[in-house]
Amino acid sequence: MIKRLIFICVLITNVSYSQSNIGIEAKFYYGSLLVHHYYMQHLAEQHFPMVEVGFMKQTTGKKMWECNRHLPVFGVKYIYGTLSSPRYLGSGQAILPYMSVSYIKRKKITVNCQYGWGLGYIQKPFERTTNYRNIAIGSHINAVANIANEIEYRVSDKTRLNLGVSLVHFSNGSFKVPNLGINLVCVTVGGKFFIKNPVYVKKDSTENIETKNEFSISGAMAMKEIYPIGGSKYTVGIVSLGYWRNYSCKGKYGVSLDLFYDEGIKGYVMRDTIETNNSTSLFQMGLIGGYEFRIGKIGLPYMIGIYLVDAYKGNGLFYNRIGGRYYINEHLIANITLKTHFAKADFFEYGLAYRF
């Protein structure tokens, strides 16, 4: 593990010397498992340490959205540590692209919020015969989300120290059950070091909105399993028609009409009822609304919806959508979002949207 971290640091340093506004960072985590179901308590055996190394690029203010967002930082980080239950979870690691946005910025003190989304690896997932007590996660490979708030102290132009609180979440989006998810709450302490003094460009932060009214059509696909463990995988197709109101360059509000074709409903009916003819409709329709936080070409939506048509009704009346979008060009948007029923993941959606 030490050799791996040394290699990453050397690689990052070599890259950094040839770039401006590039730096390296390191953090120490000390945390615990957030037990969000009472029957997960046996997985919270201990507090645990983790380490993080990464590289980052400070924006210069050359683009207007960079000024409007107080010069956000973009980077990639690697996290590694033994988790709360060495017996049932083992170690965890993740690689996450991230961005950090300042919402309080003073001469020496900055308060940042950091968002990261990437891939992670759990050493000991559920296994029916050898690790059946890990009821939290059913796969080695998982999506990882990280939200952190930190107070940063500027020691010099090149050096920053920080103290913060971080939430790290592992989930496979019900691609393989069990999938209660692993939530790690950690206190962090660390530092950042820029190889060269960062360069900033002064620019007028006034930015025109592309268009106030925006319409979109999108399509997405998903795969999921349902309980009980060991069942089939089901395909889901989603088509959405949306309207968005851009209130500023920093974000927009919107509503969307969603049409789902969810083969998993067959499994729900067979599991929950004595029906044998499988006659329940696999189509659902929902109306969802919410907000999308914009940083350049990246969008972070959070939406809450209600089912208008749902013959099954076993997952409740409401659903949520959270994730990320990347604006490829003026019209095309790539989309990876997680659909949930409150804290219960339903599936990851992978798709494209066209806006006009």
pLDDT, tens only, 167-224? 999 999 999 999 999 999 999 999 999 988 888 876 655 666 667 899 999 999 999 9
Could you tell me the residue ranges of all domains in the chain? Answer: 2-194, 213-355
At 207 the pLDDT is 61
Q: Given the structure tokens 């690790």, which residue do they identify? A: 131
**CA 282-287-290 angle, 5° bins:** 135
Q: Given the structure tokens 């329709």, which residue do they identify? A: 285
Q: Tokens representing 91?
A: 């170690």
- Same fold: 2-194 with 213-355: yes
Q: Tokens representing 256?
A: 């969307």
The fold for domain 213-355 equals Porin (2.40.160)
At 15 the pLDDT is 46
Q: What is the pLDDT of residues 29-70, one digit of tens each?
A: 999 999 988 889 999 999 999 999 999 999 988 887 888 788
At 18 the pLDDT is 46
User: Backbone phi, then psi, for 77, in 5-degree steps?
Assistant: -135, 155
Q: Given the structure tokens 């996450």, which residue do they identify? A: 96
Residue 353: CA count within 13 A, CB half-sphere: 29
d(CA 30, CA 51): 9
Whether omega before 228 lies within 30 degrees of 0, making that bond cis, reads: yes
Q: Tokens representing 120?
A: 């992670």
3-state SS, residue 13: helix
Read off the amino acid at residue 343. Answer: A
CATH class of the domain at 2-194 = mainly beta
d(CA 219, CA 68): 32
At 228 the pLDDT is 85
Indicate yes or no: pTM above 0.85.
yes
User: Backbone phi, then psi, for 60, in 5-degree steps?
Assistant: -100, -15
DSSP string, 54-88: EEEEE--S-SHHHHHTTS-EEEEEEEEEE-S-TTT
Residue 263 · residue 280 · CB < 8 Å: no
Burial state string for 280-293 with b = 16 or more CB within 10 A and e = fewer than 16: bebebebebebebe
d(CA 158, CA 25): 11
User: Backbone phi, then psi, for 200, in 5-degree steps?
Assistant: -120, 145
Please give the chain's pLDDT, 356 residues, in tens: 545 554 555 554 454 444 578 999 999 999 999 998 888 999 999 999 999 999 999 998 888 788 878 889 999 999 999 999 999 999 999 999 999 999 888 889 999 999 999 999 999 999 999 999 999 999 999 999 999 999 999 999 899 999 999 999 999 999 999 999 999 999 999 999 998 888 887 665 566 666 789 999 999 999 999 988 888 899 999 999 999 998 877 889 999 999 999 999 988 888 877 655 556 799 999 999 999 998 889 999 999 999 999 988 889 999 999 999 999 998 999 999 999 998 788 999 999 999 99
d(CA 79, CA 313): 39
At 13 the pLDDT is 47
Q: Tokens representing 301?
A: 């939506």
d(CA 277, CA 55): 56
d(CA 113, CA 50): 20
Minimal CA–CA distance to 159: which of 25, 8, 12, 5? 25
Q: How many CB atoms lie within 10 A of CB 178?
A: 20
User: Backbone phi, then psi, for 272, in 5-degree steps?
Assistant: -100, -15
Kind plus residue range of the DSSP H or E element containing 247 = strand 233-248
